[in-house]
Amino acid sequence: MKKFIIFLAMFPMSAVAGALDLNPFFGDKENQVHFMLGQGFDSGELILFKHMNRPVPYYMAAFAYSQPNTFFRLPGRQSINLIKTVGFGKDGYFNNCRHKCDWNEYDSEIFMLSQDFAVAPWGGKFYVGSGAGVAVQGRYNERLNTKFLLGFRMLAGYKMNDSWNLEFIMQHFSNGDTGTENGVYNFYAFGISYSF
């Protein structure tokens, strides 16, 4: 239920943002490639803020191709995401792992179809947004013991010019409690996008 409430909480921001002439992800462009690098955190749940002090040796690299669209009249992007996760070691950096933390076992490839939306309450350069997606991981493991995953993200972005954007992203993956274990994967990531 908390996941659904957080997702819906982003919608009132559309009233603040008003109507946008250009999609803040793309401007007037029609295609985008996006690259992300992320640091894993051992939160075990969707809300990541209270676990910022729990980084773990688990990393994410992602590449996405996106096209602009609208999501309930908000500017959006639909994306095909190719994600690689890599882990090292069997605990957190501070020996305080909360869940099954054999990070070596969680190396995987993830394929995800996602939908993001954004609002730009501070004008044309800055934007905030959220998104969700459905994904399949290439390797079964005990932390998320299904290959089917759900992705959720929150993001803040800055449009450097007509083609380049920078984004800070909180990326969450879980199995939606469809398996017997749902230890989740959570990442803080920096992304760079090129629109053309």
Q: Is the pTM of this model over 0.75?
A: yes
| Residue of 121 and 50 predicted with greater confidence | 121
* Fold topology of 2-10+31-40+62-84+108-195: Porin (2.40.160)
> Tell me: the pLDDT tens digits for 138-177?
988 888 888 999 999 999 999 999 999 999 999 999 988 8
Please determine, for residue 11, whether its predicted confidence score (pLDDT) is greater than 50: no
What is the pLDDT at residue 181? Answer: 81
Reported as a single tens digit per residue, the pLDDT across 116-136 is 999 887 767 899 999 999 999
pLDDT at 14: 42
- With 50 as the cut, is the pLDDT of residue 5 above it? no
Domain ranges of the chain: 2-10+31-40+62-84+108-195
Buried b (16+ CB within 10 A) or exposed e, 3-35: beeeeeebeebbeebeebeebbbbbebeebebe
* More confident position, 5 or 108: 108
Q: Which two tokens stand for residue 195?
A: 């629109």
Query: Which tops the pLDDT comparison, 95 or 69?
Result: 69
